Amino acid sequence: MALGIGDDCAVFRPRGKREELVFTTDMLIEDVHFRRETHTPAQVGHKALARGLSDVAAMGAEPRFCLLSAAFPEWADDRWKDRFFDGLLALARETGTELAGGDLSHAAVMTCDIVVCGAAKAGSALRRSGARSGDGIYVSGMLGGSALGLATKKGAAWKRHLRPEPRLALGRYLRGRASAAMDLSDGLSLDLNRLCIASKVSADIAAPPIFRGASLEQALHGGEDYELLFTARPNVRIAASFGGVPLTRIGTIRRGNAGRIRLDSQPLDINGYDHFSS
Amino acid sequence: MALGIGDDCAVFRPRGKREELVFTTDMLIEDVHFRRETHTPAQVGHKALARGLSDVAAMGAEPRFCLLSAAFPEWADDRWKDRFFDGLLALARETGTELAGGDLSHAAVMTCDIVVCGAAKAGSALRRSGARSGDGIYVSGMLGGSALGLATKKGAAWKRHLRPEPRLALGRYLRGRASAAMDLSDGLSLDLNRLCIASKVSADIAAPPIFRGASLEQALHGGEDYELLFTARPNVRIAASFGGVPLTRIGTIRRGNAGRIRLDSQPLDINGYDHFSS
């Protein structure tokens, strides 16, 4: 940044016209997105940034900087706040995301909002709207782990829920390969439905790869896996895994009936978690 | 925007290296920044965006786009939300600020966070840190109106509190003229203290222009006037008014004692509203 924290605005100098900037904003609210009884402050800080980075990954962009607004309640003492920032800043450092500014306030419940700016070559950012009939449908990783963890609060699934890993390197790999992409934050059925609506297509899928111990239901409709969902033209080769994360073809894009999904040829109910309707 | 609402990220194409981008983020929380008993939903929407635009004005930049995160409680029905967006979008249209994306959620109290991106010629954005000994200190408008309005809930002062007007055109006028600038959101004493600390200088001032009916106390320490505070070199001519808003010289920047303010030669207590310490 040309100017970071401490003025009325942060100042950023774009590198020129050859790159486009992507922006995403995500709220994280106590008792909606986390509970202080079960999440450590460092995990809350990590998750606040990870949600935004996952959106940047889904565009195939590299994170450049973030801005944080945070309102702390009275129970959040200096120690809690310090550890919250430790968690956020550790992920920021790891991913090259500069914390460039923000707004601190107070509220009855811990509330924060993170904005992440990423950059990609002009015209190269991955969108939801590029899927065409005949494209393969793929997911990264194993689905349903976060929902299983939330239900059981133990083991690898719980760790998965507490500490989502944005798929930034995978997103960059998909740039130029995928025809459409988005991150899986609200469950496969709802997110695939959104991708299909944006692309004006439908989808035929089989069961996705399921996180160990999770149910098919959790893999289809559970939120917060933060894996990537993407499509690719039939002639594009997608590796079987990337950076240790499996990439699995789960189906094929079909013409018409925008948003309709069939699982093993049967209509699939769309019932992931939708903040808009809740 | 190259891509607005509806994807994982909004996409923005910078015009090139000749301009720099400024970013600010501001939260607006029920019972902290507004009360639903006294603020109409349109006023809440207006204020959410006005706070960010005021920061962009203080940098001398033009607003380009904004992102809105909003968490609505159960009491906010569709009618309330529609009017909230009406208020926000009316100010957005008036100021050429595109609503490019956001995040909707729910919460126990109405909470929103707005990010505004503005643009200015590279190197021209006004900062807090440019004041030097001998510079004149100026404010726009009449101070204390918002604090008076909050106390009395009537008349022009109350309207002022409910509907702040970001000084965007004035900010652009000051680019190239002011040596330092910031907006008055937390009260003159605290904000001037911050400007002086950023510039490593002190300030000698006289009483500022006072909003009709307000007290000197309200003009010195009351928050949310959203006027501009700025400094200019002794040889720079500043108009007596701009767009109908008076520009008043209230004092002079002095060497040393970073942050100290003297009012009529007496030390001034710094006690504006500071979210950080509250």
In tens digits, chain B (278 residues) has pLDDT values of 778 787 889 888 888 888 999 999 999 999 988 999 999 999 999 999 999 999 999 999 999 999 999 999 999 999 999 999 999 999 999 999 999 988 888 899 999 999 999 999 998 999 999 999 999 999 999 999 999 999 999 999 999 999 999 999 999 999 999 999 999 999 999 999 999 999 999 999 999 999 999 999 999 999 999 999 999 999 999 999 999 999 999 999 999 899 999 999 999 998 865 443 33
| A115: nearest CB among B25, B61, B125 | B25
Q: Is residue A90 one of the residues assigned to a domain? A: yes
Q: Is residue A247 one of the residues assigned to a domain? A: yes
pTM: 0.90
Contact B105 A20 (CB under 8 A): no
Q: Among A248, A84, A54, A82, which Cα is nearest to A164's? A: A54
Q: Among A201, A150, A190, which Cα is nearest to A276's? A: A190
Same-domain status, B262 and B132: yes
Query: Beta strands B136-140 and B228-232: pairing type?
Result: antiparallel
- Take residue B114 and report the two structure tokens written for it: 């707005």
> pLDDT tens for residues A231-246?
999 999 999 999 999 9
Q: Among B211, B81, B260, B143, which Cα is nearest to A276's? A: B81
| B9: nearest CB among A24, A69, A276 | A24
Q: For residue A106, list its beta bridge partners.
A: A72
CATH number of the domain bearing residue B234: 3.90.650.10
The shortest C-alpha distance from A190 to chain B (Å) reads 14
Same-domain status, A140 and A257: yes
Q: Is residue B175 one of the residues assigned to a domain? A: yes
Q: How far is CA A210 from the centre of its chain?
A: 18
Same-domain status, A204 and A90: no
Same-domain status, B107 and B171: no
Q: Among B139, B164, B174, which Cα is nearest to B61's? A: B174
Same-domain status, A141 and A96: no
Best of A9, A112, A114 to disrupt the B interface by mutation (most B CBs within 10 Å)?
A9
The shortest C-alpha distance from A187 to chain B (Å) reads 14
Contact B23 A7 (CB under 8 A): no
Q: Which of B121, B152, B173 is the last residue of a domain?
A: B121
Same-domain status, B88 and B157: no
Same-domain status, A41 and A69: yes
Q: How many domains does chain B have?
A: 2
Same-domain status, B105 and B137: no
Q: Is residue A276 one of the residues assigned to a domain? A: no
Q: Is residue B195 one of the residues assigned to a domain? A: yes
Same-domain status, A43 and A75: yes
Q: Would you say B29 and B114 are in contact if contact means Cβ atoms under 8 Å apart?
A: no
> pLDDT tens for residues A169-224?
999 999 999 999 999 999 999 999 999 999 999 999 999 999 999 999 999 999 99
Same-domain status, A114 and A156: no
Identity of the residue numbered A69: S
Q: Would you say B129 and B198 are in contact if contact means Cβ atoms under 8 Å apart?
A: yes
Structural domain span for residue B140: 128-267
Q: Is residue A12 one of the residues assigned to a domain? A: no
Q: Which of B86, B121, B156 is the last residue of a domain?
A: B121
**Burial class of residue B175, CB neighbours in 10 A (0-12, 13-18, 19+):** middle
Identity of the residue numbered B162: L
Helix A155-162, helix A145-152: angle, nearest 10: 110
The shortest C-alpha distance from B198 to chain A (Å) reads 8
Q: Which of A79, A94, A121 is the last residue of a domain?
A: A121
Instruction: Tell me how far apart the alpha carbons of residues A15 and B269 are, in angstroms, rounded to a whole number.
Output: 44
Q: Is residue A278 one of the residues assigned to a domain? A: no
Same-domain status, B181 and B105: no
Chain B residues near residue A275 by CB distance under 8 angstroms: 103-106
Best of B3, B30, B106, B113 to disrupt the A interface by mutation (most A CBs within 10 Å)?
B113
Q: Is residue B223 one of the residues assigned to a domain? A: yes
Instruction: Tell me how far apart the alpha carbons of residues A22 and B3 are, in angstroms, rounded to a whole number.
Output: 9
Chain A residues near residue B198 by CB distance under 8 angstroms: 6-7
CATH number of the domain bearing residue B96: 3.30.1330.10
Q: Would you say B175 and B120 are in contact if contact means Cβ atoms under 8 Å apart?
A: yes
Helix A41-58, helix A78-95: angle, nearest 10: 30
Q: Would you say A66 and A99 are in contact if contact means Cβ atoms under 8 Å apart?
A: yes
Same-domain status, A144 and A256: yes
Other CB atoms within 10 Å distance of the CB of residue A266: 8
The shortest C-alpha distance from A62 to chain B (Å) reads 12
